[in-house]
Structure 1
Amino acid sequence: MSDAALSGGPRHILLVSHTARPEAVEATLTVYHQLIEAGVTPVMADDERTNLLAAHGEELNVAVLHRDTEINEIDIAIVLGGDGTILRAAEMLRGESAPIVGVNLGHVGFLAESERHDLAKTVTCIVERRYRVEERMALQVLVKVGGIVVYETWALNEATVEKASRERMLEVVIEVDGRPLSSFGCDGVVMSTPTGSTAYSFSGGGPIVWPSVAALLLVPLSAHSLFNRPLVVDPRSSLAVEVLERNQGSGILWCDGRRAWDLPPGARVVVHRSDVPVRLARIADAPFTDRLVNKFHLPVDGWRGPVRGD
């Protein structure tokens, strides 16, 4: 966060929006006018600002990121879209102190703090600084070939090693803390944070882990093995997936579904906890249990609450 933001001076709020969609354009314009009225400078990436101006048809007083405003001047980011748009914002703000608040315009939107109908209230809380910051664990991801690091990246949700050819299984060995655990053929292996436990890991049969729990998850995908259960390990552990030399084809690494890297036979993907968390702004104090119920539309009919003294 900039010195100006900390001192209560001029504020710059980044808007990250899926401006190719009409509903996102409408929501972005609503936020824009509310920020201007509050004396805050809206900031957008150049391509998103161009899309917004083309849809709106009139000039808007929006600063361009990296041209008019530097990333370290951003106070907070308001994200208008689904989880994919929030992950894009996290990528843009990687290593910065500015938190992210998401307004869900997508389907599930597990990372989002509020829904479209709460938009005005959410912006008011942001302008008035009525939010707390929650730090979420991220993954540091290394790809090694012949013992040499050839690629390094990070992930908020998950790093997934997948087969590159649909018609072939991927032969892998999984490893925990430098020791081999099992080898098998599979469609892939998901290595996830607690935040990602409701994303790809969940689809693969992994457990839901509360965000406050510090842990790493490993979930095999369609593994041809008697031992194919998800693992939950200490956050200080390291996880690795090695693409065996006997594979006839290559694999591919995906991080948060956004960054990819080809994995030749013999490549190793090593994952451990990143020293740099992702900062999310929280406005409501609703427990994670309520978020699960609301996002997944879980049935809770008949519940009367705990008995006094429970």
Structure 2
Amino acid sequence: MAPVNSLNAPCSLSATPAELDGTAGERRQLINVAYRLLGSLTEAEDAVQDAYARWCALPRSRQEEILSPGAWLTTVTSRICLDLLGSARTRRERYIGAWLPEPLPDRIEWDRAGGADPADQLILDESVGMAFLIVLEPMTPAERVAFVLHDAFRYPFAEIADALGRTPAACKQLASSTRRRVSASRAPVTATGRADVVRHVKEAWETKDIAALIRLLDPGAVMTADGGGMVGTALRPVEGGARIAQYMVAIADKAPGLELLERSVNRAPGLVAQRAGVVMTVASFDVSEGRITRIWVVRNPEKLRLWAREG
């Protein structure tokens, strides 16, 4: 792990992590770890801020004893995420409808809108893909931490053991079992093929062509929507290509004035629905053999804050 430079500088409750270490490098790494663990940029930012606050609370003498502040911060951030993942299971039992990860725009979307990128710390690779994050959801908190830290960020098991309070051998076993389940559930697809399918879905949805949508959807396709109880949406997954196609056309009939845009969602081709320039829905897709197999629809406005400047 890369060390944090100048973290022994005086801490202030109002100081940002970047101000504390003089560089955004370590914070960027921590944000990337925490988002993949939690599936929420908001919670990831809070977890990292909490880790820096704990660093600041250490006596100066204790800070000077720590050879690698970066490793210390990663361990603390991972433990905070571990606790959050444990409590998240209880919170999600009370969540209205399905819970989905917070969708991320591509950096080019912020560049198009102008201004600073509020999530410029994030590295958008396949480990932020919606399908990847969804596969991790049923894993135990310890499995998720071990797998993400090792497979996505290449941290050694000796350091992961410090975060989980387990032996390196136990952490290796956790990561290995999770890796097998992740590999078994992921179907390879080219970005070009996925983009073409998503574009055809957009065109069929706009023309309300149920037959075309059915051809594009796998017969066993599943659509899951997250409204968080704040906006209307399907509370249970819609299963079957024909039912999903009918549902999509029914929504189009009930929501005149919606504009569909092709956008990158968590580094993969997706669709954004907006009305009068305001993003209402972000949809991401999983594609296998030229057909849509999964659709994840996020409508919870609290999870769409990064899309506020879309247009």
**TM-score, structure 1 as length reference:** 0.29
More strand by share: 1
By percentage of residues, which structure has more helix? 2
Q: Compute the TM-score of the two structures, normalised by the length of structure 2.
A: 0.29
